Amino acid sequence: MKPLHRRGLLAAGGALALSGCGRGRAEASDPQTSDLQDTAAEPHSGPPPGLKTLAGFPIGTCVSSGLAEDAAWSALAMSQCSQVTAEWEMKMESILRDDGGFDFSRADRIADFARRAGVRLFGHTLVWYAQNPPALKRIDGDRKAFDNAVRNYILAVAGRYRGQAVAWDVVNEAVAEHGEGLRDCIYSRNLGQEDYMLLAFQYAREADPDAVLLINDYNLEITPAKRATFMRLVERLLKRGAPIGGIGTQSHIDIHLKPGAIRTAMRDLASLGLPIHVSELDVSLRGDRMDFRPREQKLAAQAERYREMIGAFLELPAAQRFAFTTWGLRDKDSWLRRPPNAGDGTDAPLPFDDGAHAKPAFWALADALRG
Ligand code: XIL
């Protein structure tokens, strides 16, 4: 599990390999003055429009099997969204049993929800350095067994949802924390630093010839050096024949991110020419600095980050707008409200509040989509 404020640990920038990159975390705006740039949201009333009906591209949220069976959540999701991503129940930790067999019970409940709701299913994720289950750890060091296990796993999982999952995050979070190269993990140690990714993409393609296969990572807006490393990795993998059909930028950001950083990142990422998935957007009210502004001002600042994200996404050529996903809908369902990320329990990173009322962040999205 990653710590919440990964970016808080980051050293400033580093040399940029790509010209035109934005600047690093250390240059985020001063919370005391940035209010001036964060215009208060227009007053909005009435029932919130469905974002999915306003957008010309899929609008997603993450989902758990519990939420999928919660009537209030389902109604909200079905009014707003045209795509769902399993928050954790399609990860290896949920599917791979101790005895090496597979447990699809929770993943299937999510797939069933997507089918019933008539929304796209987005698969997340096949290969991830984190939360490795015991059955994978047991074969650490045995290259052949490890390769077989990874291939069997990917064939089983992506194969099971073939024809339903429109896409998969095949490789998640492969770049090292600060962007200084690739992450050392159980996969890289057993199958090679970059080779494991190539294999994972090949196995995913074997499992599902039609799904769009993506590589997904975080802090790409916050840490230009990491973005540069990520982009070079994608280029190398493509050159080696990996069937990468899109890139995911998780976009777990906070209200202190400097205005302009999102747009710079989006343009930069778009230069690869691949479809882009804003895959896990949330905008924390916290951050790694003291911020004594009243909550309303923080919510207005949050709406500005949402506005910049959707605006930058809308500026992409239509063919590059893969989908726009928030990591939840209601604040109370956010991973930033659960241990170990809960903090003081007051964070509110999503477009709807605990009672499912639309926040300024929601209206920023709706207004941008309405043009
Ligand atoms: C998080 C979930 O939100 C948590 O509930 C879970 O326990 C850990 O993972 N990047 C990712 C997601 O790719 O899978 C993570 O989801 C959040 C960060």
Q: How far is the CA of 330 from the centre of ligand 1 (A)?
A: 16
The pLDDT of residue 28 is: 38
Which residue lies with its CA nearest to atom 9 of ligand 1?
Answer: 88
- Supply the residues annotated as catalytic: 173, 280
Q: Measure 327 CA to ligand 1 centroid, in angstroms.
A: 9
Per-residue pLDDT, 43? 57
Q: How far is CA 126 from CA 89, 122, 154, 195, in A?
A: 11, 12, 7, 15
Structure tokens at 329: 């809908």
Q: Indicate which atom in ligand 1 lies nearest the CA of residue 327.
A: 3
Beta strands in 44-159 (DSSP E): 59-63, 83-86, 120-128
pLDDT tens digit string along 291-311? Answer: 999 999 999 999 999 999 999
Choose one of 252, 280, 325, 326 to mutate for the ligand 1 pocket test, by most ligand atoms within 8 angstroms of C-beta.
280
Given ligand 1 and candidates 2, 65, 84, 88, which is best to mutate, with the most ligand atoms within 8 Å of its CB? 88
Question: Which atom number of ligand 1 is nearest to the Cα of residue 172?
Answer: 13
* Residue 45 pLDDT level (bands cut at 50, 70, 90): confident
Ligand 1 probe mutation, 171, 219, 335, most atoms within 8 A of CB: 335
Q: What are phi and psi for residue 173, nearest 5 degrees?
A: 60, 55
* Structure token pair of residue 217: 């990572």
Q: How far is the CA of 178 from the centre of ligand 1 (A)?
A: 19
User: Who's near 49: CB < 8 A, 6+ residues apart?
Assistant: 366, 370
Which long-range contacts (C-beta less than 8 Å, at least 24 apart) are formed by 136-143? 136/92, 136/96, 136/186, 137/186, 140/186, 140/189, 140/190, 141/190, 142/190, 143/190, 143/191
Q: What would the pLDDT profile of 174-216 be if each residue is shown by its tens digit? A: 999 999 999 999 999 999 999 999 999 999 999 999 999 999 9
Q: How far is CA 150 from the centre of its chain?
A: 23
Q: What are φ and ψ of residue 63, in 5° steps? A: -145, 150
Residues in contact with ligand 1 by the CB-under-6-Å rule are 1-2, 87-88, 172, 218, 250, 280, 335
In this prediction, residue 27 has a pLDDT band, given cuts at 50, 70 and 90, of very low
**Which residues are bridge partners to 268 per DSSP?**
none
DSSP 319-359: GGEEEEEES-SBGGG-GGGSTTS-TTS----SSB-TTSPBP
SS3 of residue 283 by DSSP: strand
Residue type, 68: A
- Region 139-153: mean pLDDT is 98
Ligand 1 centroid distance, CA of 126 (Å): 13
Best of 65, 129, 173, 327 to mutate for ligand 1, by most ligand atoms within 8 A of CB?
327
Q: For 309-359, what is each residue's pLDDT tens digit?
A: 999 999 999 999 999 999 999 999 999 999 999 989 999 999 999 999 999
Q: Which two tokens stand for residue 319?
A: 């063919």
**Cα(290)–Cα(18) distance, rounded to whole angstroms?**
32
pLDDT 10s digits, 57-79: 999 999 999 999 999 999 999 99
Output the residue whose Cα is nearest ligand 1's atom 13.
Answer: 172
Query: For the purposes of burial, counting CB atoms within 10 Å of the CB of 109, is it exposed (0-12), middle (13-18) or buried (19 or more)?
Result: middle
Across the range 130-150, mean pLDDT stands at 98
How far apart are the CA of 47 and the centre of ligand 1, in A? Answer: 30
> Of ligand 1's atoms, which has the minimum distance to the CA of residue 218?
10
Separation of alpha carbons 69 and 113, rounded Å: 8
What b/e sequence results for 39-68 when a residue is b if at least 16 CB atoms lie within 10 Å of its CB, and e otherwise? Answer: eebeeeeeebbbbbebbebbbbbbbbbebb
Cα separation of 285 and 298, whole Å? 6
Rounded Cα gap, residues 306 and 303, in angstroms:
5
- The residues near 31 (Cβ < 8 Å, ≥ 6 apart) are 255, 256, 287, 289, 291, 293, 301
Q: How far is the CA of 88 from the centre of ligand 1 (A)?
A: 6
Distance between Cα 35 and ligand 1 center (Å):
30
- Among 234, 126, 204, smallest CA distance to 171 is for 126
Distance CA 257, CA 255 (A): 6
pLDDT score for 36: 41
Measured by CA distance, the residue closest to atom 6 of ligand 1 is 88
Atom of ligand 1 nearest to the CA of 128: 13
pLDDT-based confidence at residue 217 (cuts at 50, 70, 90): very high
Regarding beta strands 59-63 and 252-254, do their DSSP bridges make them parallel or antiparallel, or are they unpaired? unpaired
2 CA: nearest ligand 1 atom: 18
